[in-house]
């Protein structure tokens, strides 16, 4: 589990194919200080497994499924990525609960400078938009952010300068694809709600399960 608080900006040093998967060599310092083979590190919000430790970074393997669902499919050598280590059991949850599994991608449609902040507008599919609410939490390229406004399939973020400067958002431009992870609590709530409203057939087993002796 992660928190969406970016620890370091890494840089893609090399990309190699491994059958249908990809091996990303990422230049980093802080996140590899206590890493070992098998450790998890979130790269642009995607939980990846470290398969090799290098002097100046690490190598992580990206599966075909992850490539299809994230912007890592279009990653290029030299490109910057957001990095975060998993939350320790005794750590502080400064962001929100982030699983490190992208639900899909969105497209940045507008970036506008405001007094003291930046307004970033992102377009997503209707399948993702249903989980996004005003003032709710969302993860964009691994960054824990608060939704300022959500209308239809578009949501806006009010991002402070500190976050811009310490993440890859400072390099983003309109049209860029970003990884989106919606609040996991929203997905659980939807499933529970759907279960409660399911039409149940009135059977002996159903009555017994709900306290009626038949």
Give the CATH number for residue 43: 2.40.30.20
Mean pLDDT, 10 residues at a time, over the chain (214 residues)? 95 93 96 94 97 95 93 95 92 88 96 93 95 94 96 96 96 97 83 64 62 58
Whether residue 146 is found in the same domain as residue 177:
yes
Q: Which two tokens stand for residue 180?
A: 């989106």
Domain annotation covers residue 119: yes
Cα separation, 113 vs 116, whole angstroms? 8
Domain annotation covers residue 92: no
Whether residue 72 is found in the same domain as residue 108:
no
* pLDDT value of residue 191: 74
Q: Which two tokens stand for residue 118?
A: 């930046």
Domain annotation covers residue 151: yes
Whether residue 111 is found in the same domain as residue 80:
no
Q: Which two tokens stand for residue 13?
A: 């040093």
Q: Which two tokens stand for residue 162?
A: 């500190």
* pLDDT value of residue 88: 83
* Domain of 14, in residue numbers: 8-84
Judge whether 149 and 134 are in contact, CB under 8 Å: yes
Domain annotation covers residue 211: no
Name the domain count of the chain. Answer: 2
* pLDDT value of residue 213: 61
Judge whether 150 and 134 are in contact, CB under 8 Å: yes
């Amino acid at each position: 589990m992660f928190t969406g608080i970016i620890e370091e900006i890494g840089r893609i040093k090399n990309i190699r194919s491994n059958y249908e998967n990809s091996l990303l060599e990422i230049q980093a310092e802080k996140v590899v200080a206590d890493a070992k083979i098998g450790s998890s590190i979130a790269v642009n919000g995607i939980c990846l497994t470290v398969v090799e430790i290098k002097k100046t970074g690490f190598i992580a393997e990206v599966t075909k499924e992850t490539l299809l669902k994230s912007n890592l499919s279009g990653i290029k050598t030299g490109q910057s990525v957001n990095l975060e280590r998993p939350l320790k059991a005794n750590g502080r949850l400064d962001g929100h609960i982030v699983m490190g599994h992208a639900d899909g991608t969105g497209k940045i449609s507008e970036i506008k400078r405001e007094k003291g902040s930046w307004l970033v507008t992102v377009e997503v599919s209707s399948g993702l938009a249903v989980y996004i609410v005003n003032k709710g939490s969302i993860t964009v390229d691994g960054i824990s952010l608060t939704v300022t406004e959500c209308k239809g399939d578009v949501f806006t973020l009010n991002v402070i300068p500190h976050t811009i400067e310490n993440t890859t958002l400072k390099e983003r431009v309109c049209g860029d694809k970003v990884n989106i992870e919606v609040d996991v609590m929203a997905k659980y709530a939807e499933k529970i709600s759907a279960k409660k409203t399911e039409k149940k057939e009135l059977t002996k087993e159903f009555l017994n399960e709900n306290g009626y002796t038949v």
